[in-house]
Amino acid sequence: MLSFFARRVGESLALILGVLVLVFFLVRLTGDPVGLMLPKEAPPEQRAAFAAEMGLDRPLPVQFAAYMTGVARGDFGESLRQRRPTLEIVAERLPATFELALAALAFALLVAVPLGLAGGMRPGTWVDVLARGVGLAGQTVPNFWLGMLFIVWFAVGLGWFPAFGRDDLSSIVLPAVALGFAGMGQLIRLTRSAVLEVRRSDFVRTAQAKGIAGTRVSLKHVLPNVAIPIVSVLGIQFTYLLGGSVYIEVVFAWPGLGTLLETAIRDTDFPLVQAITIFLSFFAISIHLLTDLAYGLIDPRLRAA
């Protein structure tokens, strides 16, 4: 048991280290910030002085060593543009992104579970056709395009919701629906197929034979059994939502990590790009680790795997 935990934690740490190395060198392949940050007219002497000031004139291995030493101490460096600790900047934007991802997940669940349940309980009926149709749409429509469509319809056309920004509660509706749409599609299909499976079990047939009402069978007998696969993908869904929020945040001018990442990449703000990607990977890896560990606790057979 202990060795299973140790192995999984060790693997995750190695993965995070891999991400650190990969991100550090990949962003540096994209160009030299000095050439891009300074005004085009900046004289060569100023470029040299600026590079020295920012530590960008040192050989790459030296920069990497310095960076890793910092990371070990919890120091992820300063943003080249904002001249502030990157962790501070990430922390500012984190709540907005979490809020949006949670709202998107809530939307996906609220639509997907009832629809998938209803469709799965009555396969071939109009509800099922609807469930499958919405599920397919969810998995195929690109979310940024949906976001633009929502803005044109519901903000500009109907005036029901704000077109952008993070203000009151109404401002989260459009981005959350656009972001959660794909996850919703996946969850509908998952719920529906799980329901189809459970529906065939003896205990459901018994319940129906006893004359229990359809709704009661769905909620009391089928739903709890379907809940297991749904809950197990939620964590992964959430990490997808965090990643997917980049497009949606830009479209809706939502001040989260997504818009920050977009700007940081465009500005070749290496330390900031590193901090954001490492944080997002860390989060995703942790969720996977926790899911794995939970499985291991529940199912002893997996510990050997």
Partner 1 sequence: MLRLRILPALLALAAVLVPTSVAQAQDELVVSLSSDPTSLFMPRTSDRTASNAAWSLFDSLVWIDDDGNLVPALATDWTISEDGTEYVFELREGVTFHNGETFDAESVVATWETGSDESNDYASAYSAADSVEAIDAYTVRITTPEPNAIFLTTIANNWAMVPPDYIREVGLDAFAQDPVGTGPFRFVSRTPGDRIVMEANPDYWADGLPRVDRLVYRVIPDGSTRLAAIRTGDVDVANRLTPDQVTALEGAEDVEVVQYLNDRVYYVGFKNMGAGEGTPIEDRRVRLALNYGLDRFGINQAIFSGQANAAPGFVVEGNLGYDADTMQPFPYDPDRARALLAEAGYPDGFEISMGCPADGYVNINEVCQAIASSLGQIGVDVEVDFQTTNAYWSEPNYAVTGPMYVDSWSSEFGEAIPRLDGALTPGNYYNTWEDERIANLIQEIQREVDRDARAELYGEMHELMREDPPFIYLYQPVIFEAVDADLEGYQPRAAEEYFLRSVGFAD
Q: Which of residues 249-288 bind partner 1 (CB under 8 A)?
A: 250-253, 255-256, 259-260, 262-263, 266-268
**Window 61-90: residues binding partner 1 (CB under 8 A):** 81-84, 89
User: 252-265: buried (b, 16+ CB within 10 Å) or exposed (e) per residue?
Assistant: bebbbbbbbbeebb
Residue 300 buriedness (CB in 10 A; 0-12 / 13-18 / 19+): exposed
C-beta separation of 121 from 214 below 8 A? yes
In the complex, minimum distance from the CB of residue 20 to partner 1, in angstroms, rounded to a whole number: 21
Q: Which is nearer to partner 1, 9 or 215 (CB)?
A: 215
**Window 87-116: residues binding partner 1 (CB under 8 A):** 89, 92-93, 96, 110-111, 114-115
In the complex, minimum distance from the CB of residue 267 to partner 1, in angstroms, rounded to a whole number: 7
In the complex, minimum distance from the CB of residue 163 to partner 1, in angstroms, rounded to a whole number: 4
Q: Which is nearer to partner 1, 10 or 95 (CB)?
A: 95
Helices (H) and strands (E) in the chain, counts: 13, 0
Residue 242 buriedness (CB in 10 A; 0-12 / 13-18 / 19+): buried
**Window 134-193: residues binding partner 1 (CB under 8 A):** 148, 151-152, 155-156, 159-166, 168-170, 173
Cβ neighbours for 63, distance < 8 A, ≥ 6 positions apart:
55, 56
Binding segment toward partner 1, per CB under 8 A, in 17-25, 60-68, 211-219, 291-299: 211-219
- In whole angstroms, give the CA distance from residue 89 to residue 121: 48
In the complex, minimum distance from the CB of residue 201 to partner 1, in angstroms, rounded to a whole number: 18
C-beta separation of 185 from 177 below 8 A? no
In the complex, minimum distance from the CB of residue 12 to partner 1, in angstroms, rounded to a whole number: 30
Q: Does 42 bind partner 1 (CB under 8 A)?
A: yes
- In whole angstroms, give the CA distance from residue 195 to residue 296: 25
Q: Which is nearer to partner 1, 166 or 189 (CB)?
A: 166
- In whole angstroms, give the CA distance from residue 251 to residue 151: 9
3 CB neighbour count, 10 Å cutoff: 8
Q: Which is nearer to partner 1, 18 or 31 (CB)?
A: 31
In the complex, minimum distance from the CB of residue 225 to partner 1, in angstroms, rounded to a whole number: 15
Q: Which is nearer to partner 1, 78 or 292 (CB)?
A: 78
Helices (H), 151-222: 170-199, 202-209, 214-216
Q: Which is nearer to partner 1, 10 or 224 (CB)?
A: 224
In the complex, minimum distance from the CB of residue 197 to partner 1, in angstroms, rounded to a whole number: 18
Q: Which is nearer to partner 1, 237 or 268 (CB)?
A: 268
Q: Which is nearer to partner 1, 251 or 278 (CB)?
A: 251
Maximum CA pair distance of the chain? 88
C-beta separation of 226 from 147 below 8 A? no
